[in-house]
């Protein structure tokens, strides 16, 4: 097995058949916070297969201000107007990026109107509401994709190819971490991520989800049991259980993943799969503003794999839009996202009980 030859062979968009269109997918952005303004809208603006035509916010003036700076946005709506069906002929799909506990009603309304839905992760704040989301989509035969941008990230897709091709032998361990000082990044002690009712949790729900879901993607498997510990130490985190978290996932065939996450630590991220004959590691991995780095080792050979650095959000929107244009079902779907919600809640349960939780 020639590791260097394998490392040179990669199709970043193996899913792509349509490269341009005169009829792009038109998005309504539901929620006009900093992520929408600074990450999602610029990504769509740079994309070939989609455009933003509608903004939906609880603050009409804010939506109108943002719309005024866009060449494609035609309508600025309130949440109530969206639910009433205003300007529904001006968009084909919605991107839901409200706080976690507010995703469900917008997905339900979009599904009733026959719109395709790209919903930010985690898909909801509780298992019950995530299940209700899946039910709503199934009832109206709507298309739902959960926005796990790592699954369209070239470095992660490349790493998955190495694992799938047996380059590192049989997987044994996955190690993943995502940590950040959230109050430095978003200096607001009243932000929704620190409100347990709106977030459904903190470190695990918001960023522990990244190593969890990426481990599932790289292994193409779902965890069978969970053990772990969470803690909140600083007073700013009194309303959430997990300022810091560490948890282990047991996958089939005795493959184990150890994941760590913190909302009050040095910013860092990585994911690594260690196998019987080598390892593959992405570091940095999860933050969209970092250039990702991919290393693969087999035996005595270690190489830094070169690949194109892309806008993670643009790649995600292009993939979703491509699926809609081509008539394909996008992945990950609602059932996939529901597995993560159940796993995350099992982490909290395991921490409270001090026991392993079966999934």
CATH of the domain at 292: 3.30.360.10
- CATH number of the domain that 39 lies in? 3.40.50.720
3-state secondary structure the chain: CCHHHHHCCCCCCCCCCCCCCCCCEEEEEECCCHHHHHHHHHHHHHCCCEEEEEEEECCHHHHHHHHHCCCCCCEEEEHHHHHCCCCHHHCCEEEECCCHHHHHHHHHHHHHCCCEEEECCCCCCCHHHHHHHHHHHHHCCCCEEECCHHHHCHHHHHHHHHHHCCCCCCEEEEEEEEEEEHHHHCCCCCCHHHCHHHHCCCHHHHHHHHHHHHHHHHHCCCCCEEEEEEECCCHHHCCCCCCEEEEEEEEHHHEEEEEEEECEEEEEEEEEEEECCEEEEECCCCCCCCCCCEEEEECCEEEEECCCCCCHHHHHHHHHHHHHHHCCCCCCCHHHHHHHHHHHHHHHHHHHHCCCEEC
Question: Does residue 34 lie within any of the structural domains?
Answer: yes
**Structural domain of residue 273, as residue ranges?**
150-310+333-358
For residues 107 and 166, membership in a common domain is answered with: no
Q: Which of 112, 131, 149 is a domain's end point?
A: 149
pLDDT tens by residue, the chain, 359 residues = 566 656 666 778 889 999 999 999 999 999 999 999 999 999 999 999 999 999 999 999 999 999 999 999 999 999 999 999 999 999 999 999 999 999 999 999 999 999 999 999 999 999 999 999 999 999 999 999 999 999 999 999 999 999 999 999 999 999 999 999 999 999 999 999 999 999 999 999 999 999 999 999 999 999 999 999 999 999 999 999 999 999 999 999 999 999 999 999 999 999 999 999 999 999 999 999 999 999 999 999 999 998 889 999 999 999 999 999 999 999 999 999 999 999 999 999 999 999 999 99
Predicted TM-score of the model (pTM): 0.96
* Structural domains in the chain (count): 2
């Amino acid at each position: 097995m020639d590791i260097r030859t394998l490392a040179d062979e990669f199709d970043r968009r193996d899913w792509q058949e349509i490269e341009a269109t005169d009829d792009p997918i038109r998005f309504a952005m539901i929620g006009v916070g900093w992520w929408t303004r600074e990450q999602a809208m610029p990504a769509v603006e740079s994309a070939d297969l989609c455009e933003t035509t509608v903004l939906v916010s609880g603050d009409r003036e804010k939506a109108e201000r943002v719309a005024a700076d866009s060449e494609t946005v035609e309508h600025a709506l309130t949440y109530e107007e969206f639910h009433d069906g205003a300007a529904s002929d001006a968009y084909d799909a919605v991107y839901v990026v409200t706080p976690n506990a507010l995703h469900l009603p917008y997905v339900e309304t979009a599904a009733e109107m026959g719109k395709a839905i790209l919903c930010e992760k985690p898909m909801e704040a509780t298992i019950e509401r995530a299940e209700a989301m899946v039910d709503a989509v199934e009832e109206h035969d709507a298309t739902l994709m959960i926005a796990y941008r790592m699954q369209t990230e070239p470095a992660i897709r490349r790493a998955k190819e190495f694992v799938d091709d047996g380059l590192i032998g049989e997987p044994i361990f996955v190690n993943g971490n995502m940590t950040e000082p959230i109050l430095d990044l978003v200096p607001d002690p009243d932000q929704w991520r620190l409100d347990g009712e709106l977030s459904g949790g903190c470190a695990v729900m918001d960023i522990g989800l990244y190593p969890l879901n990426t481990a599932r993607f790289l292994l193409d498997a779902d965890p069978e049991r969970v053990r772990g510990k969470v803690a909140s130490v600083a007073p700013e985190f009194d309303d959430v259980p997990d300022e810091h978290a560490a948890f282990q996932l047991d996958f089939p065939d005795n493959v184990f993943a150890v994941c760590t996450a913190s909302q009050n630590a040095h910013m860092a991220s990585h994911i690594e799969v260690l196998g019987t004959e080598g390892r593959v590691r992405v570091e940095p991995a999860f933050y969209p503003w970092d250039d990702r780095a991919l290393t693969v080792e087999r035996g005595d050979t270690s190489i830094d794999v070169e690949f194109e650095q892309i806008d993670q959000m643009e790649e995600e929107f292009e993939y979703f839009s491509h699926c809609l244009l081509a008539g394909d079902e996008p992945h990950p779907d609602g059932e996939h996202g529901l597995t993560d919600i159940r796993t995350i809640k099992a982490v909290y349960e395991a921490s409270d009980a001090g026991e392993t939780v079966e999934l």
